[in-house]
Chains A and B, each alone.
Chain A
Amino acid sequence: MTQEQSVGIVVPQTAHFSTPLPLKSGGALPEYDLVYETYGTLNAARSNAVLVCHALSGSHHVAGVHADTGTVGWWDNLVGPGKPLDTGRFFVIGVNNLGGCYGSSGPNCINLATGKPWGADFPFVTVEDWVDAQARLADQLGIERFAAVVGGSLGGMQALSWTLQYPERVAHALVIASAPKLTAQNIAFNEVARQAILKDPEFHGGHYYEHGVVPTRGLALARMVGHITYLSDDAMGQKFGRTLRHDKPVFSYDVEFEIESYLRYQGDKFAGFFDANTYLLTTKALDYYDPAFDYDGDLVAALGRAKADYLVVSFSTDWRFAPSRSREIVYALMHSDRRVSYAEIDCPAGHDSFLLDDAQYHSVLRAYIDNIKL
């Protein structure tokens, strides 16, 4: 086995598209940019491409390091030479989704029709729209068919959707810590997050850019709620417990318990770089995703057109995207006669487990990916 290495310094690229993209919400984006990164080399047969789809707060920066900021990719432990998704063998692509805030066209970009930032006027984009946009990027890169499409959480929904929207263009889908659709409880958490942003006085109906302000309080609150749901009760208990900053109650609303400090820090940090409109759009994309909607809720019927092979992975302590939700995907795929394997990883870290390098998790990914024929 090659020793695991980093892909090293990486530089994002931008692809411009001037053919309008029809959107599920009606209308179309007249033109748009997608920012992306690639790792490894596309082989002569163009058969070794793997697309990595990001989740709520992710980006095109999947692996390697940005020279200017030193930022390491969000799935660097998975992607690189000798790593489970081995860039010595595969040509890996990460792309920032439409509506994002990392360089792809989104609410914080200029709307050419008005000369002002899109803000709240940026159209609603869905998982299906993202996949359509990714497919156009694949066209531009000369990739007819992906060896695999990989994603966790919302990224897993994109991987699943790829196999339904472009069945001929995906050989394998790796759907990790995901769900075939959100539950009411899951939508409820997203709604709390959205209300926190929408009710922030500095939101200005989504046109805060023009006012020179950012609804940081709402965005930080949204992130705090999200963070609670990404961790397991046990993990939070183990990491923070009831530890008090002053060793005893001081009867104040300032930070006393360590968990308060952690959540505030995470919220403020996130509000410092993420865009509130992107957060709103992305949580709605999560809520709307339901491939069985047009099939009277029959997921088996919805998956009927799929042709890919699948690996589905869940984590024992993930309650935001619980193992039972992954099993729904697995059983529906099996009953559609798709080849599918399912691993339920015993990992204490909750939903965030999918970003960690748990030994069993990465071994299963490696074993499955190693068997992908090019």
Chain B
Amino acid sequence: MSFQRYDYDVISNWIEPGERILDLGCGDGSLLRYLQDRRQVRGYGVEKSPEGVLACARNGVNVIQIDLEQGLAGFDDGFFDHVIMSLSLQAMRNTQGILKEMLRVGHEAVVSFPNFAYWRHRQAILNGRMPVSKNLPYQWYDTPNVRFFTIADFETLCEQEGIAIRERLAFDEDKVIVEEPNFLASVALYRLGRNDAAGG
């Protein structure tokens, strides 16, 4: 869990106390719980799975059971300070749509995802096998992930969609990777904004 705490710390540092937070694909609500305890945020999670919703109810965090693939209709523009999607973007089919929705309902978005171009993943491919790692823990036949992309791919998409990258932190386990992140980092975290909005 050391990485997960690291992930939480980074996200937590990007958030001001008392903010309104939306966590998409919030799972059992542990990130929200963490932000509630550390940052006293007013947080809501969105989760599709019955198990996740039940775990959130037990965890005492607000959870809204809807399918993110349907977008965020019903959520007002700019209501949230930050909209977070932690390690779930690769499991979404409508990638562009959800990024757009995140920046519609939130002033900023926080996104993290496993980097498919991480050197160990490249090594697996060179050895002729689909990568299985701590951040891509599934076999090809049972993975919930439907989009496989790299740090470089994601940044190209942001540029294309007019999404401003305000900050990026890349990691290998809990080590910050500054040089060659697309090769050396297993996970990347981004703080994103709208290009037309004032920088944050």
Name A residues whose Cβ lies closer than 8 Å to a Cβ of B. Answer: 311, 327-328, 330-331, 334-335, 337, 339-346, 360, 363-364, 367-368, 370-371
Contact = CB atoms under 8 A, between A and B. Distances in A.
Given A330-B64, A342-B63, A367 B75 contact: no
Contacts of A345: 50
Contacts of B64: 330, 334, 340-342
A363 B64 CA distance: 16
15 contacts: A331-B74, A334-B64, A334-B75, A335-B79, A341-B61, A341-B63, A342-B64, A342-B65, A342-B66, A343-B53, A343-B57, A344-B66, A360-B50, A364-B54, A370-B58
B53 A364 contact: yes
B42 interface: yes
**Cβ-closest 9 pairs across A and B:** A367-B57, A331-B74, A367-B58, A342-B64, A344-B65, A371-B60, A360-B50, A341-B63, A368-B57
Contacts of A368: 57
A370 B60 CA distance: 10
A346 B42 CA distance: 28
A343 B79 CA distance: 22
Given A337-B42, A368-B57, A343 B62 contact: no
| Most central of B56, B58, B64 by chain A CB within 10 Å | B64
Nearest to A327: B74
Nearest to A371: B60
A364 B57 contact: yes
B171 interface: no
B44 interface: yes
Given A334-B75, A367-B54, A371-B60, 20 more contacts: A328-B74, A330-B64, A330-B74, A334-B44, A334-B62, A334-B79, A335-B79, A337-B20, A341-B57, A341-B61, A342-B64, A343-B57, A344-B66, A345-B50, A363-B54, A364-B53, A364-B57, A367-B57, A367-B58, A371-B58
A343 B65 contact: yes
Interface string B71-87: 00011100100000000
Nearest to A360: B50
Contacts of A370: 58
Contacts of B56: 341
Nearest to A346: B50
A367 B56 CA distance: 9
A294 B63 CA distance: 29
Interface string B110-123: 00000000000000
| Most central of B53, B65, B66 by chain A CB within 10 Å | B65
Contacts of B66: 327, 342, 344
A89 B133 CA distance: 46
| Most central of A334, A344, A346, A371 by chain B CB within 10 Å | A334
A312 B58 CA distance: 15
A335 B74 CA distance: 10
A360 B62 contact: no
| Most central of B50, B56, B75 by chain A CB within 10 Å | B50
A340 B42 contact: no
A340 B62 contact: yes
A363 B57 CA distance: 9
A149 to B, nearest CB: 18
A360 B74 contact: no
Nearest to A370: B58
A360 B53 CA distance: 10
Nearest to B53: A343
A53 B63 CA distance: 24
A341 B46 CA distance: 10
Contacts of A364: 53-54, 57
B76 A360 contact: no
Given A337-B42, A342-B63, A360-B50, A331 B58 contact: no
Contacts of B57: 311, 341, 343, 364, 367-368, 371
A344 B42 CA distance: 22
Contacts of B65: 342-344
A334 B75 CA distance: 9
A360 B50 CA distance: 7
B29 to A, nearest CB: 10
Contacts of B20: 337
A161 B55 CA distance: 28
